[in-house]
Amino acid sequence: MSVTDSPAARLQALFEGHRLTPTQRRIAHSMVRRAADVPFLSSVELAELAGVSQPSVTRFAVALGFDGYPALRRHLREVAPAAPAAEAGAPNEYQQAVEAEMENLRQLAQVLADPRPVREAGRVLAASRPLPVLGLRAAASQAYGFAYFAAKVHPDVRPLHEGGTMLQDRIDGAVRAGATALLCFALPRHPREVVDTLAYAKEAGLTVVTVADSAFAPVAKVSDLLLPAAVGTGLVFDTACAPMLLGRVLLEAMCDDLPDAQARLEEFDAKAAARGLFVE
């Protein structure tokens, strides 16, 4: 039996393309680990295996498009028949998650075969003084990471990675200071506050550049330029290697339109050396 024909791989293929909650992913992972046994487990037994409630198993089956768990189990008996639990050479669920991320990166490379959208985004962001960078919840680390590096080459970067009633005030302040664009990182699950904030930013006259998990993400309708990079869904929580890399590519494009970027980097390196900031 080939790797792609293994019960675990068939189960993984069943879950792909579905937006599952963390609890539902926990169930999916438990099923992959016990791929040979799962077609013969009751909903109660699967719930105990995954450490969730029995109704959660039912909701999981419905999320996959089945009428309920009995229908899912019947399907599993057809597509994932019993087999040795640990097949030689078959990748485990952790390896499958890594391979899925590698595929996301390959897709990103294909998208970047046309560099014009990223270059245009770089020009727009480089011209904005200040430059607000938005990212809430799951995307907060992406926004913070971009802002950290961008501040080394851009004269005024303003990270917005905490939500709340002050968010629109900060956008107003950036507009008053001369901002012309806003960069947003938007990842699942998409907070309503992000969509509302981007709509507010557009109404305030800002050009919205968004890095999102899909061209069809909820933020698409409130973005002027959307750059897609898929997230991995093979683990309990999303993995975002492709959006992170796209953010670094966007930084590179922005540097190309900041004539003093190299001088700023050299100045920082000199000061860092003088302060003994880093351990060599």
Domain CATH number, residue 15: 1.10.10.10
62 and 112 co-located in one domain: no
Look at residue 86 and tell me if it is in a domain: no
Q: Across all residues in the chain, what is the average pLDDT?
A: 89
Q: What percent of the chain stands above pLDDT 70?
A: 94
| Statement: residue 81 has pLDDT above 80 | no
72 and 117 co-located in one domain: no
Q: Answer yes or no: are the C-beta atoms of 8 and 90 closer than 8 Å.
A: yes
Letter string b/e over residues 40-76, b meaning 16 or more CB atoms within 10 A of that residue's CB: ebebeebbebbebeeebbbbbbebbebeebeebbebb
Residue 11 identity: L
User: Which of 133-142, 172-181, 228-237 shows the lowest per-residue confidence on average (mean pLDDT)?
Assistant: 228-237
In this prediction, residue 197 carries a pLDDT of 97
How many angstroms separate the CA atoms of 83 and 77, rounded? 11
In this prediction, residue 18 carries a pLDDT of 81
181 and 67 co-located in one domain: no
Where a domain ends, among 79, 113, 134?
A: 79
Helix, strand counts (H, E) of the chain: 12, 5
54 and 168 co-located in one domain: no
40 and 72 co-located in one domain: yes
Q: Answer yes or no: are the C-beta atoms of 264 and 126 closer than 8 Å.
A: no
Of 9, 4, 15, 8, nearest to 232 by C-alpha is 15
Look at residue 1 and tell me if it is in a domain: no
How many angstroms separate the CA atoms of 68 and 70, rounded? 6
**In this structure, what token pair is assigned to residue 41?**
């487990």
Q: How many domains does the chain have?
A: 2
183 and 155 co-located in one domain: yes
Look at residue 24 and tell me if it is in a domain: yes
Where a domain ends, among 79, 112, 127?
A: 79
Where a domain ends, among 79, 111, 131?
A: 79
232 and 145 co-located in one domain: yes
How many angstroms separate the CA atoms of 267 and 265, rounded? 5
Q: What is the DSSP string of 108-167?
A: HHHHTTS-HHHHHHHHHHHH-SSEEEE--GGGHHHHHHHHHHHTTTSS-EEEE---STTH
pTM of this structure: 0.74
Structural domain including 19 reads 7-79
Residues linked to residue 239 through DSSP beta bridges, in sequence order: 232
The average pLDDT across 81-108 equals 75
Q: What is the CATH number of the domain that holds 241?
A: 3.40.50.10490
Look at residue 257 and tell me if it is in a domain: yes
The average pLDDT across 254-258 equals 94
Give pLDDT tens digits for 186-219: 999 899 999 999 999 999 999 999 999 988 899 9
162 and 58 co-located in one domain: no
Look at residue 186 and tell me if it is in a domain: yes
Q: Answer yes or no: are the C-beta atoms of 204 and 222 closer than 8 Å.
A: no
Q: What is the DSSP letter of 213?
A: S
CB atoms within 10 A of CB 115: 12
133 and 23 co-located in one domain: no
Q: Answer yes or no: are the C-beta atoms of 175 and 129 closer than 8 Å.
A: no
105 and 231 co-located in one domain: yes
Look at residue 103 and tell me if it is in a domain: yes
45 and 139 co-located in one domain: no
User: Which of 91-100, 165-174, 256-265 shows the lowest per-residue confidence on average (mean pLDDT)?
Assistant: 91-100
H or E element that contains 61: helix 54-63
Q: Answer yes or no: are the C-beta atoms of 133 and 150 closer than 8 Å.
A: yes
